[in-house]
Structure 1
């Protein structure tokens, strides 16, 4: 009977941890329900299929499927093949560093692409107005906007270097995983 009590306590503890994971994922723009899917997979002792997950998170199959797609896109969940079963199975990526880096490099690159495209769209017009504008006020406004664009490119060059350092794990040379610079366990 005591073993069952311990298992019950472990399951209750996991529920608390899964809730905490779900709550923190909101910070990264992920819904709590998707966070619960990740939490269930994180504590699963074997790969789970869609139906297994659906039963554990008490969500519709469609919602679980959508959530899994989101988690696959951010590389927080991996689809695995299970011999003898045609259903897709999933496991959680348990390396929080890898999850953090994958999420942030994706966001940094998306931000850079959106702003860079906008800059490219307007830069020619602004340059033309800065040189050939009908009024000094328009020329000054265009020159100011061009300076702002140049500053954003400095920022984006820095964020690209940051993203590259996260992907290559070079960032650990500057910010070690462990206090005191101990590199034990770094990859």
Structure 2
């Protein structure tokens, strides 16, 4: 499935990249398919204007850029360029031309045992590498795992934490996606978890 067509309000370029289409959008920003001057495809993530003026969000965006730099590229989409200080902050990574895990399972059903074992092994390698670099992803879910022939790629480091940096998450703020985040890591999830009661 290719990128969606650009809308009237979308940019035609970001940084040095020509924008070709939309890859996705969320509450905080949009991801575009871009092209380098030399013709290589990149994924360009930028934020919506209504959050760009928040210093807290800019700090989180800077943290995401640093996380991508540390993560390297073997198990992720490597960082190509970024400008967290731009009027609309943006970052560009190598474009990974593979579907996400959620889409694959929704369309094709459960993975075959061999493919499942290969995916599990690839994700273990990816997480071990990230943790070795002092990173905790904190939002690992099917839509953040891209499947390509040589193994899974973990993407979207917007919630990642760095072991040697000050935490940005404030008290009672949910970090991650409900349903995938550890129940003890956010107040909202913990509040909805069933409570054990002692036997009479």
Q: Which has the higher contact order (CA 8 A, sep 6+)?
A: 2
TM-score, normalising length from structure 1?
A: 0.25
**Structure 2 length normalisation: TM-score?**
0.24
Q: Answer 1 or 2: which has greater strand percent.
A: 2
Which one has the bigger helix percentage?
1
Q: Which has the larger radius of gyration?
A: 1
